[in-house]
Chains A and B, each alone.
Chain A
Amino acid sequence: MSAKTWFHQWGSPRWFFEKAKPVSTVLGLLSLVFLSLGIIWGLAFAPEDYQQGNSFRIMYVHVPSALLCQSLYLFMGIAGFIGLVWRMKLTDVAISAAIPLGMMLTAVALITGSLWGRPTWGTWWEWDGRTVSTLVLFFLYFGIYALRQAIKDSSTKANATAIIAMVGTLNIPIIKYSVDWWHTLHQPATFTITEKPAMPSEMWLPFLVMVIGFYCFAGHNVISRMRIEILRRESGSAWVRSIAMSGEKARYVF
C-alpha cells in the first residue's frame, strides 16, 4: 500500500470505525488486566513507605491520572494541528472524545492530590507549583468545552477548537515553568524516564503497571467514544443506516 493511500484512509470515518474496533477491544482487555494487577499489587503487596505509611498508596492513582491528563491535552493539540493543516474530519472526532476523559482525569488528579495532601502536608489544599498547573490545565480543558458548547456549526466548531487547543498546548510548558518559578514546596518529581527511580522496585513496578493500565484505558475510552461519535455524525449515511437496521447492532459497537 502506498503512503498516499495509507494517508487518505484516515480521512474516512467508516474505515476508522471498522479498523478501530479490534484495537479498542484489545486495549480495553489490556487495561482491565493491568489496572486490576496494578491495583491489587500496589494496594496490598507493595511495602509501606517509611515516612508516609500507607497514605502514599494513593500515588498509584494520583500520578498516572496527572500524567495522562497532560498527555491527553497534548494529544488534542496535535490532533488540532493535523486537523487544521490536512483538513481531516477524524481529528475533531478525536478531540471531542478526549475532552470529557481529560477533564475527568484532571479532576481525579486534583481530588486525589488533595486527599494525599491532608496526611502528608497537613492541608487539603496547598497552592504549590504542580497543583496550580494542574488546576490551570483543568481551566484550559473547560475553556475548550465551553467554546464547543457555544458554537453550533460543526466545521466552525472543529476549527475553533483546533486553534485554541494548539495555543493551549504551546502554553502548557510556559505555565509549568512560570508556576515552578513562582513557588514550589512540592517534593521533586518522583519519576523521570532518564533516571533510575529513587524508590525500591517493589514500589515502582506496580506504579509502572498502573501507568500502562491507565494509558491502555485512555486509548480504549477515546477510541470507543470516537466510534460512537462517528456513528452519530454519519447517522445519515448508508453504511450507518445498514448497521442500525441490522439485527445485531451491539456487535458493531462493542
Chain B
Amino acid sequence: MLVRREFIAIARNPSLVINPLMFLLMAVTIFAITLKPILGDMGRAAGGLIWVLVLLSSLTSLDSLFRKDYDNGTLEQLLLGEVNPFFLVLMKCFTHWCSSGLVMVIVAPVIAMSLGLSQDLYGSLVLCLLVGTPAISLIGLVGAALTVALGRGGALLSLLILPIMFPVVIFGGGSIDSLVMSGEFGGGLIWLFATSMLALGVAPIATLFALRLSIEI
C-alpha cells in the first residue's frame, strides 16, 4: 500500500522523473560538445561519463526525497505508525531507484550511442548500471535523511555523500573501461555488486537513525 502511495505520488508529479532525466540529457550535450576531441577514441570516455552523469542526475532528485513528507508531517506519522520503519526506508529507496536509477538504466544505451560507445558493450553497460545504481540510491538516502530537517539540502547533501559514492563510480567507470580495453569486467562488476550489498546492509540502518534524528523522536 505504501509502495502504491509512492508510485501514485510520482505519477501525479512526473517532474520527479522528468527533471533528472532532462538534467542528464543536458549534461550529456554539454559533455559531448566540450569533450568532442576525445570522444572518438573507441568510446573509452563514454563509460566513465555515463557513470558520472547518472550519479549527478540522481543527486538532483535526492533532495526532494523526504522533503515533502517531512514538511507536511507524513514522515513523522509513518515512523510512529505500525509499519515497520525499516520496511519504510527500504521502500523509499526502492521507489527512488525506480524513478531515477532504473530510468537511467533504460536511457543509458541511447546516451552510450551518442557518446560513441561500441555497440557490443550496451548489454554490459546496462548490467553494470543495474548492479551499481542501487548503491547510489541507498547512500543518497542517508544524506537525504540527515539533511531533510535542515531545510537546505542542496550543496550540503552533495558534499556529504559524493565522497562516499566515489567507489561506485570508480568501479562502474572502471568496469566499462576494462571492457573496452580487454573485453572483460576485470573484477569491477563483482566489486560493484559487493558495494551495493554493503550499502544495502548499512544504509537503511543509518537512514533510520538519521530520520529519527531529523524528526526528533
A residues lining the B interface (CB < 8 Å): 84, 136, 139-140, 142-143, 146-147, 150-151, 156, 159-160, 163-164, 166-168, 170-171, 174-175, 177-179, 181-182
B43 / chain A contacts, CB cutoff of 8 Å: none
Instruction: Return chain B residues, CB-CB under 8 Å to A147.
Output: 146-147, 156, 159-160
**Are A166 and B206 in contact (CB-based, < 8 A)?**
yes
Given that A143-B159, A146-B159, A159-B213 are known contacts, is A151 also in contact with B150, CB under 8 Å in the complex? Answer: yes
CB distance from A218 to the nearest CB of B (A): 22
Assess the B210–A181 pair: CB atoms within 8 A: no
B144 close to chain A: CB less than 8 A: no
Looking at the complex, which one of B146, B149, B171, B209 makes contact with A181 (CB distance below 8 Å)?
Answer: B171
* A151 CA to B159 CA, complexed, in Å: 15
Query: Can you name 12 extra interface pairs (CB under 8 A) apart from A156-B216, A181-B170?
Result: A136-B163, A139-B162, A140-B163, A147-B146, A150-B147, A160-B213, A164-B146, A167-B202, A167-B206, A171-B163, A178-B171, A179-B170
Contact of A168 among B149, B164, B191, B216 (CB under 8 A): B164
Complex CA gap A166/B210 in Å reads 12
Given the known interface contacts A160-B210, A160-B213, the answer about A150 and B171 at a Cβ–Cβ threshold of 8 Å is no
Chain B: residues with CB nearer than 8 A to chain A? 139, 142, 146-147, 149-150, 152, 156, 159-164, 166-167, 170-171, 174, 187-188, 191, 195, 198, 202-203, 206, 209-210, 213, 216
Which of B147, B163, B188, B213 has the most chain A CB atoms closer than 10 A to its own CB? B163
Cβ contact within 8 Å between B170 and A167: no
Whether A156 lies near B191 (C-beta < 8 A) is: no
Contacts of B195 in A (CB 8 A): 174, 178
Structural contact, B150 and A181, CB atoms closer than 8 A: no
Q: How many A-B residue pairs have CB under 8 A?
A: 83
Instruction: Find A174's partner among B147, B160, B167, B213 (CB 8 Å cutoff).
Output: B167
Q: Is the CB of A159 within 8 A of B209?
A: yes
Instruction: Flag if B174 contacts A182 (CB, 8 Å).
Output: yes
A171 touches B167 (CB 8 A): yes
Closest-by-CB residue of B relative to A159 is: B213
Is A178's CB under 8 angstroms from B210's CB? no
A156 touches B213 (CB 8 A): yes
Q: Output the least CB separation between A234 and chain B (Å).
A: 23
Q: Which B residues touch A179, using CB under 8 A?
A: 166, 170
